[in-house]
């Protein structure tokens, strides 16, 4: 016997019940099987519900099932990690985890009661293929389910095959289901879930949240004001809103009821007298978010909540007046920019003197004049259309005018007094080199050229700035260079230098000096001489002098004894002024004629070592070739004392 009861054309086609999820309007679940809550693992199901064997463990074997909160590391990680049931917001919720039997067949059979007769229902279940892609060498079986609804007497009302439920990369629940219509007078049915594939590697699945929900034609509700399901409104408007619902064909004799929720749709309350497709809300009296929906069913079943379907929710959000706050007190200095500010909403409308207006939250009044002083009002509105206002008063004060002394030039190390005027408070920058940076007339002693800027504060705290430049003339510093040594008739160059600004200099004495105008003149004194370099500021910033000593040798002085014992006295063989002869060659021999010391030039006197080791005490012989024309070789002996 085939029973076909069609509610609308979207549910039925050519006398065959379509197997799909509801595309019309769905009512609250009449039956909701969640498998319960508790600690892992859960208790067994009644033996009439499943022929699989119950196990109290996380990973059931073939032909077994368990009720668990989660599943981890099953069969060497062949199964996905499932951290929670389909509705993880339900703490410690169970789901059914099944390892398919080796033979196809029913594995879940349950009797559902409390349904409404002559009513179309959606039978749906959330399912997961728990096998990973990599399991079973990539060739694992997929679950293949058939869903059936039968009367208690065994008459088939609807059936649907899911085909293979494919493996996915990450664990995820998917919903499968079908439609069926209860025959007249029938309030109980049998739901049957069959696994069509054989056991083996794979064909393992999880089930959760089995629901039976009334399904009917599409019912769409809206707020007529904006043809939307949401609106913001302000409490001070005291507005009523007209709601309406469009009901598609399918009901023979429908009854409707509007409901209201004040807890975001968790619970619903019938609105007395609101039993027409259109409904007008009472005027807004309190703030909050209010949801409305229309429920519908055949009039003969309407008294039973299990027979009703629900339209979409519409939300009316009533907001209170914004708390508007403008800047308490605003002042401006003549000619300066002044900023206004307000808070408390999303749009702003400013008005003020001289026709001023702005839609900015933070408008700027440029270069204010005395005529800009006065009251500025702002109207602030929220997204819901609520508006409130506040105001602030602008006072315009005289501008400050900073005065400062003229630029000045000082000698390094000297001071000068700066002078500022035009205010009651002062602040100088930079503060370095000032005796006090918060007075009108500080003493300035900079070491370099410095521009000092002063900020002048009036009695109204208006400000202005001015600056003064102090140029610092660097005082003269003379440096005659390092002392020199030479032989009679051999010129030597002095290495003088000077520092400072606008400096003149002289050398003295000038006798035997070549290029006296240079800082590095050549001199050929016949006796030891001290030369003085004097530098003088041409701008009156003082003078400085330094001297260099030139030692004059009339011959090469060759000591014949030294004691390299590390006592700091006579530790080296100091031949002077041999270091002046860069091309000279010096050789020292021991008594066997072996060279123990050789030097080209003589920048470093001999320390009495050979190859890094001290030579023995005793007599040694030297040969010094100055490599100068007509200069004979110098020979002789020397004695080393240890």
- How large a percentage of the chain has pLDDT more than 90? 74
CA–CA distance from 88 to each of 91, 95, 167, 187, 486 (Å)?
6, 11, 22, 32, 100
Stretch 356-366: mean pLDDT, rounded? 96
DSSP string of 63-122, one letter each residue: TEEEEES-B-STTTTTBPPB-S-SSTTSTTB-EEEEE--SS-EEEEEEEE--PPTT-EEE
Indicate the range of 33-37, 215-219, 416-420, 481-485 predicted with least confidence: 215-219
Per-residue pLDDT, 250: 76
Per-residue pLDDT, 12: 32
What's the whole-model pTM score?
0.49
Phi and psi at residue 305, in whole multiples of 5°? -60, -25
CA–CA distance from 621 to each of 436, 575, 612, 626 (Å)?
74, 14, 19, 17
Domain range list for the chain? 12-216, 219-319, 325-397, 403-467, 477-553, 561-640
Per-residue pLDDT, 238: 74
pLDDT in tens, 372-401: 999 999 999 987 778 999 999 999 999 999
CA distance 403 to 536: 37
Residue 10 has pLDDT above 90, yes or no: no
pLDDT band at 41 (very low <50, low <70, confident <90, very high): confident
Q: Residue 12 class from Cβ within 10 Å (0-12 exposed, 13-18 middle, 19+ buried)?
A: middle
pLDDT in tens, 245-281: 998 887 788 899 999 999 999 899 999 999 999 999 9
Stretch 278-302: mean pLDDT, rounded? 90
Q: Residue 594 class from Cβ within 10 Å (0-12 exposed, 13-18 middle, 19+ buried)?
A: exposed
Per-residue pLDDT, 493: 94
Per-residue pLDDT, 350: 97
Residue 20 has pLDDT above 70, yes or no: no
pLDDT band at 4 (very low <50, low <70, confident <90, very high): very low
CATH of domain 561-640: 2.60.40
Per-residue pLDDT, 14: 25
Using the 8-state DSSP alphabet, how is residue 339 labeled?
Answer: E
Judge whether 503 and 541 are in contact, CB under 8 Å.
no
Assess whether the previous peptide bond of 94 is cis (omega < 30° from 0).
no
Per-residue pLDDT, 2: 26
Residue 122 has pLDDT above 50, yes or no: yes
| Three-state DSSP state, 170 | coil
Stretch 189-212: mean pLDDT, rounded? 93
- How large a percentage of the chain has pLDDT more than 70? 96
What CATH fold (topology level) applies to the domain 477-553?
Immunoglobulin-like (2.60.40)
Q: Do domains 219-319 and 325-397 have the same CATH topology?
A: yes
Per-residue pLDDT, 89: 64
Stretch 97-118: mean pLDDT, rounded? 92
What is the CATH architecture of 219-319? Sandwich (2.60)
CATH number 3.30.70 is the correct assignment for the domain at 12-216? no
pLDDT band at 11 (very low <50, low <70, confident <90, very high): very low
Sole residue written with tokens 């909403």: 345
Residue 157 has pLDDT above 50, yes or no: yes
Per-residue pLDDT, 508: 95
Mean pLDDT of the chain: 91
**CATH superfamily entry for domain 325-397:** Immunoglobulins (2.60.40.10)
- Give 197's contacts (C-beta < 8 A, 6+ positions apart): 100, 104, 141, 142, 143, 144, 164, 203
Of 258 and 8, the one with more pLDDT = 258
**Is residue 54 left, alpha or beta, with left meaning phi > 0 and alpha meaning psi from -120 to 50?**
beta
CA distance 463 to 542: 41
DSSP string of 275-312, one letter each residue: -SSEEEPPPP-S-EEEEEEEEEEETTTTTSGGG-EE--
CA distance 376 to 391: 5
Residue 1 has pLDDT above 50, yes or no: no
């Amino acid at each position: 016997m085939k029973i076909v009861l069609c509610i609308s054309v979207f549910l039925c086609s050519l006398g065959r019940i379509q197997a799909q999820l509801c595309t019309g309007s769905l009512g609250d679940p009449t039956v909701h099987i969640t498998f319960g809550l508790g600690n892992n693992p859960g208790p067994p199901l009644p033996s009439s519900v499943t022929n699989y064997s119950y196990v109290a463990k996380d990973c059931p074997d073939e032909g077994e099932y368990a009720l668990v909160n989660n599943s981890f590391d099953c069969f060497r990680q062949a199964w996905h990690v499932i951290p929670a049931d389909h509705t993880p917001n339900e703490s410690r919720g169970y789901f059914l985890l099944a390892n398919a039997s080796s033979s196809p067949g029913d594995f879940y059979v349950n009797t559902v009661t409390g349904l409404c007769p002559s009513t179309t229902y959606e039978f749906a279940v959330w399912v997961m293929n728990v096998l990973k892609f990599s399991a079973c060498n990539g060739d694992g079986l997929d679950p293949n389910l058939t869903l059936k609804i039968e009367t208690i007497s065994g008459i088939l009302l609807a059936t649907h095959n899911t085909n293979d439920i494919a493996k996915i990369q990450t664990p995820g629940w998917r919903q499968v289901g079908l439609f069926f219509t209860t025959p007249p007078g029938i309030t109980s049915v049998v739901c049957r879930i069959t696994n069509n594939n054989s056991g083996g590697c794979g064909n393992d699945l999880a089930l959760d949240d089995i629901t039976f929900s009334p399904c009917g034609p599409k019912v769409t509700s809206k707020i007529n004001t904006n043809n939307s399901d949401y609106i913001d409104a302000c409490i001070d408007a005291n507005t009523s809103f007209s709601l309406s619902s469009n009901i598609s064909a399918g009901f023979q004799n429908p009854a409707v009821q509007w409901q209201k929720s004040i807890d975001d749709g968790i619970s619903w309350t019938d609105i007395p007298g609101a039993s027409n497709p259109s409904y007008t809300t009472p005027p807004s009296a309190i703030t909050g978010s209010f949801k409305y929906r229309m429920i519908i069913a055949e009039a003969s079943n309407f008294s039973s909540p299990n027979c009703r379907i629900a339209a979409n929710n519409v939300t009316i959000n009533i907001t209170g007046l914004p708390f508007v706050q403008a800047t308490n007190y605003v002042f401006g200095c003549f000619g300066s920019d002044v900023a206004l500010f307000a808070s408390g909403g999303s749009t702003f409308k400013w008005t003020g003197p001289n026709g001023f207006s702005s839609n900015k939250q933070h408008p700027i009044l440029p270069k204010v004049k005395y005529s800009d002083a006065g009251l500025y009002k702002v109207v602030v509105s929220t997204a819901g259309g609520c508006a409130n206002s506040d105001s602030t008063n602008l006072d315009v004060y005289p501008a400050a005018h900073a005065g400062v002394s003229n630029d000045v030039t000082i000698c390094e190390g000297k001071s000068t007094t700066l002078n500022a005027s035009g205010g009651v408070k002062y602040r100088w920058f930079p503060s370095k080199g000032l005796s006090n940076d918060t007075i009108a007339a500080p003493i300035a002693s900079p070491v370099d050229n410095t521009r000092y800027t002063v900020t002048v504060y009036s009695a109204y705290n208006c400000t202005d700035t001015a600056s003064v430049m102090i140029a610092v003339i660097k005082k003269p510093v003379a440096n005659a260079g390092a002392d020199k040594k030479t032989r009679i008739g051999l010129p030597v160059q002095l290495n003088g230098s000077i520092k400072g600004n606008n400096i003149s200099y002289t050398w003295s004495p000038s006798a035997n000096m070549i290029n006296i105008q240079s800082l590095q003149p050549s001199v050929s004194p016949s006796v030891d001489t001290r030369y003085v370099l004097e530098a003088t500021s041409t701008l009156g910033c003082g003078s400085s002098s330094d001297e260099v000593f030139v030692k004059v040798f009339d011959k090469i002085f060759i000591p014949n004894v030294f004691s390299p014992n590390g006592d700091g006295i006579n530790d080296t063989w100091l031949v002077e002024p041999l270091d002046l002869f860069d091309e000279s060659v010096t050789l020292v021999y021991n008594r066997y004629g072996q060279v123990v010391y050789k030097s080209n030039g003589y920048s470093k006197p001999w320390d009495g070592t050979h190859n890094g080791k001290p030579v023995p005490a005793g007599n040694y012989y030297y040969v010094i070739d100055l490599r100068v024309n007509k200069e004979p070789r110098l020979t002789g002996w020397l004695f080393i004392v240890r």
